[in-house]
Structure 1
Amino acid sequence: MNYILPLISGILTGLSMPGNLSSFLVWFSVAPFIYSFVNSKKTLERLIKVFLYSYSLMVTTLWWEVPVLTKNIPEVIKTFPGYIGFFSYLLMILILTIPYYIIWILGELYFRKSRVINKTSLILFSVFSYAAAEILKQFGDLAFTGANLSDALYMHTGFLQILPFTGSIGLTILILFVNAYIAFSPERERLKIGIFIIGILYIINFTISEKLPMINTSENSVKISVFQTNVPQEVKYSNDMWKSYVEISKYIEKSKDNSELLILPEAVFIKDIRNDEIFKVIKEAIKLSDKNWLMGFPTVDYEKREYYNSAIYINKNGEIENIYNKIRLMPFAEFLPYKSVFSLFSFFKLVSFYTPGDEYSILNLNGKKFSVQICFETYFPELSRNFTKNGAQFLVAISNDGWFSHKTALLQHFSKSVLRAAENRRTFIQVSNTGITGIVDKYGRIINTLPTHTYKGAQFSVPLNNEITFYTKYANIIIVIILILAIIFSLI
């Protein structure tokens, strides 16, 4: 039983993540781990419990990566066999547990011999040491913020209204306070206390959700068309670019509406087409559509010999007006992190290893300002913050989620757009190859989504907003304060 609790706790927490069993679990799923950890007597015991919790959490959350690495990618790019993908998955999960060891490190400070322990100090230590782990997941070449506790509540609009003041870490802290209070309550009273606290919270969530104002989209808004191309990966990654174009050309020909912008997904093509005949055809289609286009494909700087994963913004005259180069690249798939350590894993690259961009570009749409992110950049809140501070009045993400067979992966990805919308009080549009393509309002309410794995377009009316939230302004200070509190509550 000594090591069963953290294992069960990690599994339950993973099952609370988007697309898994139920978000309700997150309110008490961390409690068994917290209880077990603080009742450990030895350093090694605490270390093993952090490992068991974090590893089982990541496996249960990211189970959908198994078919991606063992079947979907190997069948398309043919650079490694499926069994290598499986062992790489196990290693990937191990790497993703690293930030959680800050809980163990801080625990060694907390459980020193001279420590006087009481319920209040246990709660504060547990809450802020775990919060520190989630913050650390944002940094470094191997950064990945999947399985954050706040993700579980992306559909709970009332709770999301914390985010403009604290960011998603504030919601994580609320969840941790509930778990810690349950964990350290008298055993006979835990169920009663848990039901009471969680019940009150859900009443608050419902009340806030119902009181949120409706948004008037008839004023100060822009009409935008989106197109979910649904091109199979084997077609996209073939050498026949025209085949990819034919897959989307029928919709393009019909895209004559009163919108000002058409957004297509990431990697519509998998090579730089700017000097190819196909781009001339696309430019003519853009002129006929009489609207600006935003689409994704890699670009190459031949002088510097650098490759970028890019979003290309083309005006209605067929001229490239701006190019955004992806800043936060995906480890192994788009760049090789810590080359001296991981040089053997270069076979994972999908097309080529890219150079990260360094400019938070703001795109101009007839005087309206917006920004674009690419794929998993939505997992990193600093990008949306920086775009918002630079003047973006709404936020866009384009993605190629065609690798993912299961909707769980799509939901976990889309949930990040919901959090970014609420944090910055910006309408957020995500456009993906196979889904989820949809629009989220500034309160984090999902307004519309297209059916996944379908060839479909839609028009959205997108309100503009210039408000800068407290979190957008002071996120870095909030992060530093939480890390300082984690240390303080480990020492006092």
Structure 2
Amino acid sequence: VLQIVTWTGIYGLSFVATAVNSLIAYGAIHRSKAWLGAGALVIAILWFLPILGETPSGDTLDVRLVQTNIPLDQPWKKPASDDLLNELGALSTREATKTRLVVWPETPAPFYLNEDKDFRSRMQQIAKKLGAYFLVGYIDAIGEGPTNSAALLNPQGQVVSRYDKMHLVPFGEYVPFKRLLFFAESLTRQVGDFMPGTDYTLSPLDQHRIATAICYESIFPDLVRQFVKRGSELIVVITNDGWFGESSAPFQHLRMGVVRSVENRRYMVRVANTGISAIIDPYGRIVGRTPISVRMVLDGTVRYRSDRTFYTEYGDVFAYANALAAAAIAVAAVYDRRRFRGRERKHVRRTH
């Protein structure tokens, strides 16, 4: 049933879930075996329905996902910071293979690629040693404000693209309605004051183009869709879910990435600081994943795709159609009620 999102988006799944649950609820209330049976039959069909019309993908890309597992209380004074970066550098380059793209997660630390020469040199060394492209999260700036950014370095260590996170986390990366919330300054003082990006950046990788979404941007279908519609052949998501520990949140965040992959029929490379890092294929199958809270690398192979789904091309048409249908039904119900009341009044007048 997940495959319907290539046409309907995530709202199609919600529609199916609501419809099936309504069948079961109606059958239970009216003690109707027919309705209950219909609900059970739909569930069985959706459960065992195979993936239909699976099409092959394009060129391959060997990737290395580096799950840095940097704790929230990591000290950033030397020599502790140097020791950590030395370990992560060795982890990223160990057993050098045919990896073409190395990915670090959303920055969980004060990493400054442009301002910190030592950090920049370390990142360049990783790219050069592996002879691979290297995507890394870091803190940059737009004007006088900081940005949550990701840079792609080529195998020579040169920055070839930069993406600034557009959809910031309210009360985490910025304070919405800051002027109206002046009275809560003591509560919002520790909140970041990041600046949002404005461009759907596509990064060049050999003869292909890839897109990067940062953290919870992956929960927004239209944002990810716009990257693919503009020509992205691969989706990369970098995130830091360390704030959630081993709760259900990292698992839920991963499942949202699964839906984004299917909606747009793209491979997804998902790298999380503390996990779950994963490689997801265009049909929602998780072909490789890591456990939570383990510092490790995950090597795998993905494929580029350039085709577009109906959802990629037209977006939430299904949702808008449902909203219009609901509005039309509501208007029709109001109109029928008024017409019925008008008939009642005429009938009362005639009888008197």
The two structures share one fold, judged by TM-score above 0.5: yes
Trace 1:183-194 onto structure 2 (pairs within 5 A). 183-185=25-27, 187-189=29-31, 193-194=35-36
Q: Distance in 1 between matches of 2:106 and 2:287?
A: 22
Match of 1:202 in 2: 44
Match of 1:40 in 2: none
Match of 1:340 among 179, 187, 203: 179
Q: Say whether the 8 Å CA contact 1:182–1:190 is kept in structure 2.
A: no
Query: CA offsets, 1:18-75, max 9 Å, x none?
Result: xxxxxxxxxxxxxxxxxxxxxxxxxxxxxxxxxxxxxxxxxxxxxxxxxxxxxxxxxx
Over 3 Å counting, the alpha-carbon distance change for 1:478 and 1:197 in structure 2 is closer
Match of 1:418 among 235, 239, 258: 258
Shift of 1:470: 0.7
Q: Distance in 2 between matches of 1:445 and 1:212?
A: 15
Match of 2:314 in 1: 474
Match of 1:489 among 329, 336, 348: 329
Q: Say whether the 8 Å CA contact 2:111–2:119 is kept in structure 1.
A: no
Match of 1:17 in 2: none
Shift of 1:186: 6.5
Does structure 1 residue 325 correspond to structure 2 residue 167? no
Query: CA offsets, 1:432-471, max 9 Å, x none?
Result: 0111100111111111111221111122211111111111
Match of 1:404 among 215, 240, 244: 244
Match of 1:451 in 2: 291
Q: Say whether the 8 Å CA contact 2:10–2:259 is kept in structure 1.
A: yes
Name the % identity: 27
Shift of 1:255: 5.3
Query: CA offsets, 1:334-365, max 9 Å, x none?
Result: 0111113434242352xx31111110011111
Match of 1:291 among 132, 140, 152: 132
Q: Which has the higher contact order (CA 8 A, sep 6+)?
A: 2
Over 3 Å counting, the alpha-carbon distance change for 1:346 and 1:353 in structure 2 is same
Over 3 Å counting, the alpha-carbon distance change for 1:455 and 1:484 in structure 2 is same
Paired letter, 1:371: A
Instruction: Name stretches of at least 5 consecutive residues in structure 1 with no aligned partner.
Output: 1-158
Match of 2:305 in 1: 465
Q: Distance in 2 between matches of 1:296 and 1:390?
A: 22
Q: Distance in 2 between matches of 1:214 and 1:388?
A: 18
Match of 1:363 among 192, 197, 203: 203
Does structure 1 residue 252 correspond to structure 2 residue 92? yes
Match of 2:343 in 1: none
Does structure 1 residue 267 correspond to structure 2 residue 110? no
TM-score by length of 2: 0.86
Paired letter, 1:230: N
Shift of 1:264: 0.7
Q: Say whether the 8 Å CA contact 2:148–2:165 is kept in structure 1.
A: yes
Q: Say whether the 8 Å CA contact 1:272–1:300 is kept in structure 2.
A: no
Shift of 1:282: 2.5
Q: Which moved more, 1:407-416 or 1:195-204?
A: 195-204
Match of 2:4 in 1: 162
Q: Say whether the 8 Å CA contact 1:255–1:289 is kept in structure 2.
A: no
Q: Distance in 2 between matches of 1:334 and 1:190?
A: 52
Shift of 1:215: 5.3
Q: Could you say which structure has the larger radius of gyration?
A: 2
Q: Distance in 1 between matches of 2:95 and 2:138?
A: 20
Q: Secondary structure, in 3 states, of the residue corresponding to 2:232? A: coil
Q: Secondary structure, in 3 states, of the residue corresponding to 1:307? A: strand
Query: CA offsets, 1:240-266, max 9 Å, x none?
Result: 543441341220231521011101111
Trace 1:48-447 onto structure 2 (pairs within 5 A). 159-185=1-27, 187-189=29-31, 193-209=35-51, 213=54, 220-235=59-74, 238-240=76-78, 241-254=81-94, 256-276=96-116, 277-301=118-142, 304-343=143-182, 344=184, 345-349=187-191, 352-447=192-287
Give aligned pairs, total.
Answer: 326
Q: Say whether the 8 Å CA contact 2:7–2:309 is kept in structure 1.
A: yes
Q: Distance in 2 between matches of 1:436 and 1:215?
A: 27
Q: Distance in 2 between matches of 1:447 and 1:410?
A: 17
Paired letter, 2:129: L
Q: Distance in 2 between matches of 1:410 and 1:162?
A: 24
Q: Which moved more, 1:375-384 or 1:447-456?
A: 447-456
Over 3 Å counting, the alpha-carbon distance change for 1:425 and 1:336 in structure 2 is same
Q: Distance in 1 between matches of 2:87 and 2:181?
A: 37
Q: Secondary structure, in 3 states, of the residue corresponding to 2:161? A: strand
Q: Secondary structure, in 3 states, of the residue corresponding to 1:434? A: coil
Q: Say whether the 8 Å CA contact 1:430–1:439 is kept in structure 2.
A: yes
Q: Distance in 1 between matches of 2:260 and 2:190?
A: 29
**Which of the pair is proportionally richer in strand?**
2
Q: Which moved more, 1:284-293 or 1:420-429?
A: 284-293
Q: Distance in 1 between matches of 2:177 and 2:33?
A: 47
Over 3 Å counting, the alpha-carbon distance change for 1:289 and 1:369 in structure 2 is same
Shift of 1:200: 3.1
Q: Secondary structure, in 3 states, of the residue corresponding to 2:73? A: helix
Q: Distance in 2 between matches of 1:198 and 1:479?
A: 25
Instruction: Name stretches of at least 5 consecutive residues in structure 2 with no aligned partner.
Output: 333-352
Q: Secondary structure, in 3 states, of the residue corresponding to 2:106? A: coil
Over 3 Å counting, the alpha-carbon distance change for 1:243 and 1:488 in structure 2 is farther
Q: Say whether the 8 Å CA contact 1:332–1:348 is kept in structure 2.
A: no
Q: Say whether the 8 Å CA contact 2:8–2:319 is kept in structure 1.
A: no
